[in-house]
Amino acid sequence: MTRVMLFISLIIISWTCSSKEVVVEIYKKKFIPAEITIAQGDTVIWKNIEKRQYHSVWFKQLQKEEPDYFFPDETYQRTFNDVGTFPYICGPHPKMTGVVTVKP
């Protein structure tokens, strides 16, 4: 391995370690936990652990179109590069709500 390759891999390692992945589970038509606070650059992974119900995670302020539904054992993920408070709903079940707060 050349020095340049070693240097590049060290940058990639430190870069991937600085941002976290946070899991939100979806069960019995609820986001668990419904409210989370993460750091800028973190990724939230929504995991559908229902028996047979599909859901979506829709940040209406951030995107006009509803994203695809995801089914049991599937996930949806989003990385938050901007600071702020981002509420979301499930398209098919608008009573399912959650909030992601992103701190610098």
Q: Which residues bind to Cu ion, rule: CB under 5 A?
A: 55, 90, 93, 96
Residue 18, phi then psi, degrees to nearest 5: -75, -25
6, two tokens = 């070693």
Nearer to Cu ion, 19 or 93 (CB): 93
Instruction: Give the contacts of 92 (CB within 8 A, at least 6 positions apart).
Output: 54, 55, 56, 69
Nearer to Cu ion, 38 or 90 (CB): 90
Q: Are strands 21-27 and 43-48 parallel, antiparallel or unpaired?
A: parallel
Nearer to Cu ion, 27 or 41 (CB): 27
Min dist CB 51 to Cu ion, Å, is: 13
Min dist CB 20 to Cu ion, Å, is: 25
Min dist CB 96 to Cu ion, Å, is: 5
What is the H or E stretch that residue 14 is in? Answer: helix 3-18
Nearer to Cu ion, 41 or 59 (CB): 59
The three-state secondary structure class of 15 is helix
Min dist CB 52 to Cu ion, Å, is: 12
